[in-house]
Structure 1
Amino acid sequence: MFEYRILESDDDLRRLVSLRNRYFPDNPVTLEEQKGMIAMLPARFEKQRWGVFSEGELVACFAIEREDPLEEGREFLFVMTEESVSRQDVDAFVQRLLELGRDRGSRSYTAMTSSLRPELRSAWEAVGAEFKQENPVSAIDLREWDIPAEPVPGVTIRRFDFLNEPEALQREHYDMFWEAMLDVPWPTPIVKEPFEEFVDYFKAPLGRQGRDWVAMEGDRILGMSQVRPFHADTGNLGASTGFTGVRKEARRRGLARALKCHALQDMKAMGRTMVYTDNEENNPMYQLNLQLGFRQVHSLFIFTGTL
């Protein structure tokens, strides 16, 4: 009934992007951005993207990649489906993905799905996956928002054009990012990537589309906020905020709020309308976003399980 194959050709990837942008309407990408994400992922993760075809049409996609630390034998698993796919077929797709993980010799997995497809959550629960956390996806309408950024004494907040900054500041940005990133709630260990791989992100189309804001005290970066206006080719005049974080020593000084306001004002000045983000439901950043005017639109659910 279904044909399963690894997605490799431009035509396959174009279909993948179309399905992905319907599954994630609040975070669309272009074909070139998708290809850039594929190219920048280090080979050690052995990521595969499988398509499920019915009568020549792509009806679902699997993604499977190894998670750091690699010696723990864990995979990150993800399934996207068309709305027309039946619950029975969704169950079969999840089982097929688990088989792929076992065939790769892995022992456990992390899986993510969206409340926009409740049948996928049910399918993961049916195979014994354990629910670990909920990340509300929230949005703000910039046409109805205009909160100025409050100054923070002794701190300069400015745009940070990563590839055109001195290497010393690039490394300062990298160190600050990972100091804060390791505090982000996630059910499995977060592993710091090498500096060279961090730089590769900014060279890729998706990274070049982004705009970073940093809070600086002298030459020291205390915090940052990322925002990515969606590419014009997606037909979406929105944007998504990526990571916002502050060094431990500089927290509770209003830096995160000021950085977010600068990033949102930047998007408003560019004529962007809706801005989307997601945070773990107990993360203080989620409460800050609600204070700024973000409102939940759906959720991401994260599970873990054994193979």
Structure 2
Amino acid sequence: MKTEKTEKTDLTSVTIRPFDRNSEADYEALAALQNIETPEMPVTASEIRYRDEQQPAHLLSGRFLAQTAADTILGVSDYGQWLGMYHPRRFWGGVLVHPDCRRQGIGTRLYDALLERLAPHDPLSLRAVAREDKPDANAFLEKRGYAPDMRFWESVLQVAAFDPAPYQGAIDRFVSEDFTIRSYADLANDPDRDRRLYEMVEEVHQDVPSPEARTPVPFDEWIKRLDSPNFLPDANFVALGPDGTYLGITMLWKRQATDQLQTGLTGVRAAYRRKGIALALKLRAIEYARSMGAPSIRTDNESNNRGMLSINEALGFVKDPVWVVYVKTLSEEKEPPV
């Protein structure tokens, strides 16, 4: 499938069809569309396919493509549910149209296909995101009754420009408390490593700002994440207390289309916060990135998460334009009869 818009493209011939998960061409076209929209966060077809294949069976999802008679893919819409914020009637959704083909009704048709597919599930709400510097995307959502609900920043650290010298005192204080930092790979001799890590991650996640209420992720689903081709055993760092308790974590993931590293969860158990543990973990991650020659590290933080934002700002992470999380209420949840 092609994604290029040409002068000969006949927009009246555009059809909306379901995405074919057995089609490599569909995955390639989807990746190309996403990379046109957000080139700073490139993705490969294989990464998208892997996420689809790992989706738990109980999570509902769907995807549609806008295609011309000449097999040119002009846009996509999709919807799904969150594993860690699961509600059977709450969904996320999105529409993306090639920049050259906007304001011609393609996005509306893709969105209508999404709503039609969702209707039998009687959805309560639908969430979407748009970057604040993308006025067309924000206007599309607001016109359809979406309201801003929360905001988050993507931020980037240029690794070569980072000077670790001012932070040596922070590391010394961390070590003086008899805390240590070990990578996931270093902890291989701990027979309970994965279970202990899972329990800490679930605990820490409860305090991470989120658009929906957090729900437990089953261990057998969580553990699959460690089999991802983008998981880096040497770049997932755990802070341990003097007695070996897992206190905090920061995770770095690789991207297949770039040497840039992506930060996943960074967090510390509530009882051990404000002791410099998160900063020490971030410094260790930057040290790893430097040793591997990674040009940059990308992270994201909810706009009210001042604790992590302050650390990242101090370290030199530079914010991209803010992302706005929108929500549209489709029906009211009724209390069960007493």
Instruction: Name the residue aligned to 2:98.
Output: 82
CA 1:60–1:211 in structure 2 vs 1: closer, same or farther (change >3 Å)?
A: farther
TM-superposed CA distance for 1:146, in Å, is 2.5
Q: Measure how far apart 1:75 and its partner are.
A: 1.1
Report the aligned-residue RMSD. Answer: 2.3
2:304 is aligned with 1:290: no
Q: Measure how far apart 1:229 and its partner are.
A: 2.9
Partner of 2:63: 49
- Show structure 2 runs of 5+ residues with no match: 1-11, 331-338
* Residue identity matched to 2:329: T
CA separation in 1, counterparts of 2:44 and 2:299? Answer: 19
Residue by residue over 1:168-191, the C-alpha shift from the partner in whole angstroms, topping out at 9 and shown as x without a partner, is 111111111111111111221121
Distance 1:88 1:279 in 2: 34
Question: Which structure 1 segments of 5+ residues have no match?
Answer: none
Shift of 1:91: 4.0
Percent identity between matched residues is: 25
Partner SS for 2:207: coil
**Aligned residue pair count:** 304
Q: Who is 1:184 aligned against?
A: 208
Match of 1:303 among 326, 330, 337: 326
Equivalent residue letter for 1:196? D
- Is the counterpart of residue 115 in structure 1 residue 137 in structure 2? no
Q: For residue 315 of structure 2, what is the amino acid of its counterpart?
A: L
Specify whether residues 29 and 71 from structure 1 end up closer, same or farther in structure 2 by C-alpha distance, changes over 3 A only. closer
Conservation of the 8 A alpha-carbon contact between 2:240 and 2:246: yes
Task: Note the alpha carbon deviations across 1:20-74, whole angstroms, 9 max, x for none.
Answer: 2333333333333222211111011122222222342222222211346655511
Specify the SS of the correspondent of 1:279. Answer: strand
Counterpart residue number, 1:10 = 24
Which residue of structure 1 aligns with residue 76 of structure 2? 61
Q: CA deviation at 1:92?
A: 4.0
Tell me the CA shift for residue 161 of structure 1. 3.0
Decide whether aligned partners of structure 1 residues 84 and 207 sit closer, same or farther in structure 2, where only a CA change above 3 A counts. Answer: same
Contact kept, 8 Å, 1:110 with 1:305, in 2: the verdict is yes
| Partner in structure 2 of residue 200 of structure 1 | 224
So what's the TM-score if we normalise by structure 2? 0.83
Residue 31 of structure 1 is matched in structure 2 by: 45
CA deviation digits over 1:209-239, x for unaligned, max 9? 88311101133110000112323xx2x2212
Q: Which residue type is aligned with residue 15 of structure 2?
A: E
Aligned counterparts of 1:267 and 1:258: Cα–Cα separation in 2: 14
Q: In the TM superposition, what is the alpha-carbon distance from 1:270 to its structure 2 partner? A: 0.8
